[in-house]
Amino acid sequence: MKINNIGNHGINPYKKQMNKMDQVNKSGKPVDKVEISGAAKEMQVSSIEQARRAKVEQLKTQVKNGQYELNPEQIAKGIMNFYRGV
């Protein structure tokens, strides 16, 4: 006696589980979220930004006056550190 196509033949239980997981993820549950206020962002950036602006202005005046000098050793060291990930 031969019996064909009886039971759960052709159903992949792992696929069913993945479908259930996808449905749970799409259910619209709230996701954790962190927001930083504008005041906090300004507190983080302002001192760094001011120091950067001061350095840029100093470099601009040095370049204008012809006083800016390149240091090849520092440039090479910076390039090496960049590619080494330091």
pLDDT band at 28 (very low <50, low <70, confident <90, very high): low
pLDDT tens digits, 53-67: 899 999 999 999 999
Quote the CA–CA distance of 52 and 46 in Å, as a whole number: 10
pLDDT of residue 75: 95
62: Cβ contacts below 8 Å, ≥ 6 apart: 68
- Where are the domains positioned within the chain? 37-86
Tokens 């039971």 belong to 7
Is the entire prediction scored with pTM above 0.85?
Answer: no
pLDDT tens digits, 67-86: 999 999 999 999 999 999 87
Contact of 68 with 62, CB cutoff 8 Å:
yes
How far apart, in Å, are the Cα atoms of 86 and each of 5, 53, 54, 77?
Answer: 63, 25, 25, 11
